[in-house]
Structure 1
C-alpha cells in the first residue's frame, strides 16, 4: 500500500532507498515494526526518527520543513573485528550521499549532509555501528 500523507510518504521513500542498497554478501534488514528474526550473521536495523516540522512562511498553504534522521545500525557477531562492519557502515553512508534526492509524490526528500558513522557499540556477543542519515523535506 502506497502512503497517502506526508507522514507516511517520507519514511516510505527513505526505507525504499535503503532496500536498494547492494551489499555483497547481502545483509537482511530489520525494518521498523516489521517482524524479524535476527540471523546469527550480520544484518542491518533501520530506525525512522522524525524531528517535527516547522512552518517556514506565514502564507497559508506554503510548505513546511520536515526533518529527521534515518538511523541504520550495522550489527555483526562479536570477535570478527571492526573492519567489515565499518566498511558496511561506509557503504550505507555512500548510498545516502550528501545531496541525494528521493522523489516522492509530495516533493523531494533530500539528504543534506554526509551520513555520520558513529562509534561502535560493543556487547558480549555483537558489535553495532550506527549510521545516522540526516534528511530534510520542504513539503
Structure 2
C-alpha cells in the first residue's frame, strides 16, 4: 500500500491503474488467450508548482513505454500503440496528467 498507513502522500508521485479488457481466444482449440487492456500512469503534481514539470514527467513515461516489448514471468507484453497523455485534471491541491499505455499479452504456453 502506498503510502504506508498513517503516512501522508508525497507532493509529487505516480499513480498506477491496471485496466484489463475482455480476454479473446483468437485461434481454435486450446491455444493461449490474448489479454488486452490499458495500463495508466498518472503524474500527480502539486497545484502552483508549474504544469511544465508535470508534462515533462508525462513525456518521460510515454518515451519509456513507446515501442516496447516487455517480458515478465514468461509472458510477452507488447505495447500495442503509442501511449498518450490526457489533459491535466485538477483534484483539489493536485493536478493529475493521466498517461494511457495500451498493451496486448498472451498467456504463457504450458
Asked if TM exceeds 0.5, the reply is yes
Deviations 1:30-77 (A, max 9, x none): xxxx231411x2111001111121011122x21211011111110011
Question: 1:109 deviation in Å?
Answer: 0.6
Q: Which has the higher contact order (CA 8 A, sep 6+)?
A: 2
Greater helix content? 1
What is the root-mean-square deviation of aligned Cα atoms in Å? 1.3
Residue of 22, 28, 50 corresponding to 1:52: 22
Q: 2:75 aligns with which of 79, 98, 107?
A: 107
In 1, Cα distance between equivalents of 2:75 and 2:46? 39
Q: Gapped runs of 5+ residues in structure 2?
A: none
Q: Which has the higher Rg, Structure 1 or Structure 2?
A: 2
Q: Determine whether 1:63 maps to 2:32.
A: yes
TM normalised by structure 1 equals 0.69
Once the two structures are superposed, residues 68-100 of structure 1 have per-residue CA deviations (whole angstroms, 9 ceiling, x without a partner) of 1111110011012210000000000111112x1
Alpha-carbon distance between aligned partners in 2 of 1:62 and 1:121, rounded to the nearest angstrom: 42
